[in-house]
Structure 1
Amino acid sequence: MSVNQDRSLRENLLQLECHFTWALIKDDFNVTDVLSRLEEQIKLDLRKKEGLAQTYSALAYVKFLLEFHEEALCNLMTSVKLSMECHGEEFHKTLIVTYGNLAWMNYHMKNYTECESYLKKLQKINELIPTESSSVPEVLGEKGWTFLKFSPTYYDRAKECFRKALEQEPEEGEWNAGYAIALHRTEYESFTLEDSLTIKQLRRAIDTNPDDDVLKVLLGMRLAVYKRYDEAEILVEKALERSPEHPHVMRYVGKYFRNKGCVDRSMTLLKRALENAPNSSFIHHQLALCYKLKKIQLLQEGSHHAKMSKVQQIRDLCIYHLEKATTLKPSFISAMSDLALQYGERRELSRADELFEITFKTAKQKNDNLHVINFYYAEFQLHCHKCEALAIKHYMECLKMFPESIEGKKSAYNLKKIADKRIHRNTDDADAHGILGFIHRVKGENRQAIECYEKALSYGDNAEYLSNLCALRLSLK
Structure 2
Amino acid sequence: MDQLRTKLDQLECHFTWGLIKNDIDLNRLDEQLKSDVEKKENPTQTYNALAYVKFLQGFQEEALSHLMTSLELYKECHKEEFNKSLIITYGNLAWINYHMKNYTECESYLQKVKKINENLSSESSSVPEVLDEKGWTFRRFSFKYSEKSKECFKKALDLEPEVGKWNAGYAIALYRTEYGEFTIENSPVIKQLRRAIETNPDNDVLKVLLALRLAMYKSYEEAQRLVEQALEGSPDHPHVLRYAGKFFSNKGCPDRGIALLKNALEQSPNSSFIHHQLALCYKKKKIQLLQGNHHARAPEVQLIRDKIIDHLEMATKHATGFIKAMIELALHYGEQEDFLQAEKMFQMTFEAAKEKNDNLHVVHFHYAEFQFYSKRDEVLAIKHYMECLKMKPGSHEGKRSEYKLKRIAEKRINKNTHVGKAYGILGFIHKEKGEKSQAIECYEKALSYGDNDEHLTNLCALRLSI
Could you tell me the TM-score, scaled by structure 2's length? 0.88
Gaps of 5+ in 1: 1-5
Deviation at 1:433, TM superposition (A): 6.9
**Are positions 1:99 and 2:61 aligned together?**
no
Per-residue CA distance 1:150-206 (angstroms, 9 max, x = gap): 112222222222222222222222222222222222232543434433223222222
Task: Decide whether the 8 Å contact of 1:20 with 1:104 is kept in 2.
Answer: yes
Amino acid at match of 1:149: R
Deviation at 1:403, TM superposition (A): 5.6
Per-residue CA distance 1:49-79 (angstroms, 9 max, x = gap): xx22111111111122233333322221221
Cross-structure match for 1:287: 278
Q: Return the match for 2:220 from 213, 223, 229.
A: 229
**Are positions 1:362 and 2:352 aligned together?**
yes
Task: Decide whether the 8 Å contact of 1:433 with 1:452 is kept in 2.
Answer: no
Q: What secondary structure, in the 3-state scheme, does the structure 2 residue paired with 1:283 have?
A: helix
Per-residue CA distance 1:13-43 (angstroms, 9 max, x = gap): 1211111111222111121111001111121
Over 3 Å counting, the alpha-carbon distance change for 1:206 and 1:123 in structure 2 is same
Deviation at 1:312, TM superposition (A): 2.1
Between the aligned partners of 2:205 and 2:353, the Cα distance in structure 1 is: 30
Over 3 Å counting, the alpha-carbon distance change for 1:321 and 1:102 in structure 2 is same
Q: What secondary structure, in the 3-state scheme, does the structure 2 residue paired with 1:149 have?
A: helix
Q: How many residues align?
A: 460
Sequence identity (%): 61
Gaps of 5+ in 2: 449-454
Cross-structure match for 2:141: 150
Between the aligned partners of 2:292 and 2:425, the Cα distance in structure 1 is: 31
Instruction: Say which is worse superposed, 265-274 or 452-461, in terms of deviation.
Output: 452-461
Between the aligned partners of 1:430 and 1:231, the Cα distance in structure 2 is: 54
Deviation at 1:351, TM superposition (A): 2.2
Task: Decide whether the 8 Å contact of 1:147 with 1:154 is kept in 2.
Answer: yes
Cross-structure match for 1:31: 26
Task: Decide whether the 8 Å contact of 1:437 with 1:453 is kept in 2.
Answer: yes
Cross-structure match for 1:349: 339
Between the aligned partners of 1:469 and 1:200, the Cα distance in structure 2 is: 47
**Are positions 1:266 and 2:257 aligned together?**
yes
**Are positions 1:316 and 2:306 aligned together?**
yes
Per-residue CA distance 1:383-437 (angstroms, 9 max, x = gap): 1211223323433443554566554455455455545655654599576677678
Q: Return the match for 1:329 from 319, 328, 331.
A: 319
Q: Return the match for 2:292 from 283, 291, 301.
A: 301
Over 3 Å counting, the alpha-carbon distance change for 1:406 and 1:292 in structure 2 is farther
Matches for 1:2-81 after TM superposition, within 5 Å: 6-45=1-40, 47=41, 51-81=42-72
Cross-structure match for 1:3: none
Amino acid at match of 1:16: L
Per-residue CA distance 1:241-282 (angstroms, 9 max, x = gap): 221111100000111111112110100000000000001000
Amino acid at match of 2:32: R
Over 3 Å counting, the alpha-carbon distance change for 1:371 and 1:134 in structure 2 is same
Instruction: Say which is worse superposed, 219-228 or 76-85, in terms of deviation.
Output: 76-85
Task: Decide whether the 8 Å contact of 2:440 with 2:463 is kept in 1.
Answer: no
Amino acid at match of 2:318: L
Could you tell me the TM-score, scaled by structure 1's length? 0.87
Between the aligned partners of 1:302 and 1:421, the Cα distance in structure 2 is: 29
Cross-structure match for 2:377: 387
Task: Decide whether the 8 Å contact of 1:18 with 1:97 is kept in 2.
Answer: yes
Task: Decide whether the 8 Å contact of 1:375 with 1:395 is kept in 2.
Answer: yes
Q: What secondary structure, in the 3-state scheme, does the structure 2 residue paired with 1:245 have?
A: coil
Matches for 1:168-179 after TM superposition, within 5 Å: 168-179=159-170
